[in-house]
Amino acid sequence: MARVCAGNRRAFSELVWRHQAPVFRICYRVLGNREDAKDAAQESFIRAFKKLDGFEGRSSFKTWLLRLTVNVSLNERTRRKENLPLEDWAPPDFSGDGPEEAAMKAEALARLHKALQALQPNHRAAVVLHDLEGLNFREVGEAVDVAEQTAKSWAYRGRQRLKDLMT
């Protein structure tokens, strides 16, 4: 970050390369559409670059970037105000599995993806960041700008709603 703040664009490119996968995953899980997720991920990095002077170092760069990413994704979702289609969602490659097992896994992932879209945005963000991206609750709280206990509560409520939707 010191090199980035000193104006080294190559250093920022390294940060983009290092964080592009989690940024895209968060955008995709919030928006539910690959093209929208690509656009939101790109917008997240553009905003991060423009707001580098706002990075105070109170949290890690990753946490700061993921907060920005969640905000960009939630704003985009609110702006669209529509149900999110699943027609362009492609499950991961299960070629090592037998056809039945691969089909069952793909169906379960599609159900999870659809259920995630039904959660309240703050609950979805907490579940995605903690359970799917592996952030601890302090980092989740920082990323969504709430207290750690609130992040825990949102994740708990989100998981309970997911459980209801999936059973």
Give the phi and the psi of residue 93 in degrees, each rounded to 5: -75, 120
Q: State the 10-residue block means of pLDDT for the chain, 167 residues long.
A: 71 88 90 89 92 79 89 82 44 58 72 84 90 89 91 94 88
For 55, left (φ over 0), alpha (ψ -120 to 50), or beta?
A: beta
Mean pLDDT of the chain: 82
The length of the chain, given as a count of residues: 167
Domains in the chain with CATH codes? 2-166 (1.20.140.160)
d(C-alpha 147, C-alpha 6), whole Å: 32
Residue 137's pLDDT is: 94
How would DSSP label each residue in 22-89?
HHHHHHHHHH--HHHHHHHHHHHHHHHHHTGGG--SSS-HHHHHHHHHHHHHHHHHHHH-SPPP-TT-
d(C-alpha 75, C-alpha 117), whole Å: 15
Which of 139-165 are b and which e, b meaning 16 or more Cβ less than 10 Å from the residue's Cβ? bbbbbbebeeebbbbbbebbbebbeee
Would you say 115 and 96 are in contact if contact means Cβ atoms under 8 Å apart?
no
Dump pLDDT digits (tens) for 15-58: 889 999 999 999 988 888 889 999 999 999 999 988 887 777 77
